Amino acid sequence: MPSAEIAGVTVDVNEEGYLTDPGQWTRAIGEAIAAELGIGPMTDEHWKVIDFLRKDTAEQGQVPSIRRIKKTGDIPTKELYALFPDGPLKKSTKIAGLPKPASCI
């Protein structure tokens, strides 16, 4: 299993750079990944999405869809695309330290 140093911490990642152990995630790691993806600075609106993703994934056992984020997380799809352009679910889950969604190519 590959590893990477993010925010001064060595974490387990897959071949695409997604954390394989969400328990290794910290906000500092999230901020570092966001910066690497060209997202930032992270605002309260960004963290609302990240916090929802982590909580919902822990409760449901899978990464939520964009539709679920809109419906359950009360985060409009337009806002999600504005916060995480060019692949909002792919980028936000990576920042959140979660697996790449199956719906993302």
The 3-class secondary structure across the chain, one letter per residue, is CCEEEECCEEEEECCCCCECCHHHCCHHHHHHHHHHCCCCCCCHHHHHHHHHHHHHHHHHCCCCCHHHHHHHCCCCHHHHHHHCCCCHHHHHHHHCCCCCCCCCC
Q: Is the pLDDT of residue 105 over 60?
A: no
Q: How confident is the model at residue 1 (pLDDT cuts 50, 70, 90)?
A: confident
Q: Which residues have a catalytic role annotated?
A: 104
Q: How confident is the model at residue 104 (pLDDT cuts 50, 70, 90)?
A: low
pTM of the entire structure?
0.93
pLDDT digits (tens, 9 = 90+) for 2-49: 999 999 999 999 999 999 999 999 999 999 999 999 998 999 999 999
pLDDT number for residue 40: 83
Q: Report CA dihedral (44, 46, 51, 37) to the nearest 10 degrees.
A: -140
pLDDT number for residue 47: 98
Q: How confident is the model at residue 67 (pLDDT cuts 50, 70, 90)?
A: very high
Q: Which amino acid is at 89?
A: L
